[in-house]
Structure 1
């Protein structure tokens, strides 16, 4: 993992990343919030509501994929700077998400000259407990 090389305070870096997320109309629609950002790591939270769920009450896989995609890319940006975009990712759904909040955490595995490899875990939070519901690995490209 390559650490962030910036003289900007971490709180300002998080504020800048939050502004990037807030500029994404779909992220606003989903209700996503960036809660951690720096040193090749990121955390994204989505408060879950009825409109995030399928007909049987579990969270739609597209919501989990959205969270994985965004948190992977934000973690890469925390390591190498903001000029990045998702080149691809895979996700494995481990158990249905049914809780009140989705938590996605990602960490850079390797930051190369062109590509950044990132791993993520997604948790379904219910009753103050986190349940692992998906894992993802992504490749993020530098512009």
Structure 2
């Protein structure tokens, strides 16, 4: 797939990688982000028993988590260093059970605007080397200019 997006920040990959490392929710489920390109990221999630539902499939909420993050980080690859992204909404279609040894969420930018960014994600279940699309998501992101992520952990109140 040819990607025609040009990042505003030449250090986008390092910035996105550092942000992902601070995201405790992704660490909680055991996700990694091995691919970061302009307008595109991949999140990989190995199957673990503690993220499955009662039928043994990876839970749909977890599928939504990795789709949301993959597409959101795809948007972040194109923003300036002083801009953060937040999900405004997304629509997720679960196409097939999320079963296999690995899920791959491929996030990409459909349309980049200064304030709103439209993205998509496809989640593939890898089972014995065979990939099956298990979810498709479309998302709207808002770019928040002049705001930085919080460093450190929040305390419960």
Structure 2 unmatched ranges of 5 or more: 145-157
Decide whether the 8 Å contact of 1:34 with 1:43 is kept in 2.
yes
Residue in 1 that maps onto 2:90: 89
Residue in 1 that maps onto 2:104: 103
TM-score normalised by L of structure 1: 0.90
Residue in 2 that maps onto 1:6: 9
Number of residue pairs the alignment of both structures matches:
139
Larger helix percent: 1
Decide whether the 8 Å contact of 1:32 with 1:46 is kept in 2.
yes
Q: Give distance in 1, aligned partners of 2:115 and 2:50.
A: 37
Residue in 2 that maps onto 1:64: 63
RMSD: 1.4
Decide whether the 8 Å contact of 1:4 with 1:38 is kept in 2.
no
Q: 3-state DSSP class of the match of 1:79?
A: coil
Residue in 2 that maps onto 1:16: 15
Decide whether the 8 Å contact of 2:9 with 2:79 is kept in 1.
no
Structure 1 unmatched ranges of 5 or more: none
TM-score normalised by L of structure 2: 0.83
Structure number with greater Rg is 2
